[in-house]
A = this chain, B = another copy of it.
Amino acid sequence: MIVRNGERQPVLVVGSIGLDTIETPFGVERDVLGGAASYASTSASFFTKVRLVGVVGYDFPEEHMQFFRQHGIDLDGVQKVPGKTFRWNGYYEYDMNQAHTLATHLNVFEHFQPTIPAAYCESAFVFLANIDPELQLRVLDQVPARSFSLADTMNFWITSKREKVLEVVRRVDAITINDAEARQLCDTASLVVAGRQLLAMGPRVVIIKKGEHGAVMFTESDYFVAPSFPLEDVLDPTGAGDTFAGGVIGYLAASNDLSEANLRKAVLYGSVMASYSVEEFSLKRMARLEQGEIIMRYAEMRKITAVTE
């Protein structure tokens, strides 16, 4: 295991599980496993036990359930209900930096009310993947014993339910948000201003994801820049941010250490996980990822910014 010592804690992940149809300059893949919670929970599973809460339709392939189980992901919180699974259809242009949505079919997600199984309510580490902020707030009500909650969001909710997004920001311990969304939410061109503004709203950790430019983390006393791993080929950036967040909270839960120094390591591990995820479509690269590869690339990531005195 990557974290050998420490009181390993499980992570509760709540969010979308779906089937994606993705077009990139390198090909098209139809109805492949997707959804923010799928990426995040798979990523976190390399560090610790994961409890997944979400909903799928009757059409959701059993092989994907099997995939989650093989990664030690507890599926007691995944409801299988009549209807079709959530579907997202998007494409990327040559620069791969921005996802363009062609269609979103909420399907069974439309009336989803996350119900946290009793056995999960004591979870200390909670990741609220990108879903309706009202649902994120409802989850927070159900996990009063949490010691660290991390939330992600997206431009759609910032536009349509801004006040609820801000309420989530005020109530969680940490947020991950991408650069364009941080600028939008804080109405500023400066990421430094945005980061500090978000921090002032309540969370003790704000992580801004910048895609190929890495990530920056703001805490009250600290500012940390993590590079992205230098990949020549990015095949499919879908889920990179969720995989990043899953790596961050997975590592934090496994080490059960929220110190500044450990938060920095967690961000680097998150970057490592994201760098593997984008190497292939959907969760294909994650399906054959090995612990040794994570450890190796983490060491390489550390060298990338090292300066000797």
Residues of A with Cβ closer than 8 Å to B? 94-96, 189-193, 196, 210, 212-214, 216, 223-227, 230-234, 261, 264-265, 268, 302, 304-309
Docked CA distance A265–B213 (Å): 20
Q: With contacts A210-B213, A213-B210, A213-B213 known, is A304 near B225, CB below 8 A?
A: yes
Docked CA distance A94–B216 (Å): 21
Q: Which B residues touch A227, using CB under 8 A?
A: 216, 225, 305
Docked CA distance A214–B225 (Å): 10
Docked CA distance A268–B306 (Å): 11
Q: Which residue of the partner chain, among B210, B216, B230, B306, contacts A192 with CB atoms under 8 Å?
A: B230
Docked CA distance A261–B210 (Å): 27
Q: Which B residues touch A306, using CB under 8 A?
A: 264
Docked CA distance A307–B189 (Å): 28
Docked CA distance A126–B192 (Å): 35
Docked CA distance A264–B306 (Å): 8
A94 touches B307 (CB 8 A): no
- Known A96-B189, A261-B307, A305-B305; 7 more pairs at CB < 8 Å: A191-B212, A192-B232, A216-B230, A223-B230, A225-B304, A225-B305, A264-B307
Docked CA distance A306–B230 (Å): 18
Identical copies of this chain, number:
2
Q: Which B residues touch A95, using CB under 8 A?
A: 189
Docked CA distance A54–B71 (Å): 64
A196 touches B307 (CB 8 A): no
A193 touches B232 (CB 8 A): yes
Q: Which B residues touch A231, using CB under 8 A?
A: 190, 192
Docked CA distance A237–B111 (Å): 49
Q: Which B residues touch A308, using CB under 8 A?
A: 261, 264
Would you list 11 pairs from A and B whose C-beta atoms are within 8 A, ordered by A residue? A190-B231, A190-B233, A190-B234, A192-B232, A214-B225, A216-B227, A224-B305, A225-B305, A226-B305, A227-B305, A268-B307
Query: A227 — nearest CB in chain B belongs to which residue?
Result: B225
Q: Which B residues touch A96, using CB under 8 A?
A: 189
Q: Which B residues touch A230, using CB under 8 A?
A: 192, 216, 223
Query: A195 — nearest CB in chain B belongs to which residue?
Result: B230
Docked CA distance A193–B231 (Å): 8
Q: Which B residues touch A223, using CB under 8 A?
A: 230, 304
A94 touches B232 (CB 8 A): no
Docked CA distance A95–B189 (Å): 5
Chain B nearest CB: distance from A118 CB in Å? Answer: 39
Docked CA distance A221–B67 (Å): 38
Docked CA distance A161–B192 (Å): 38
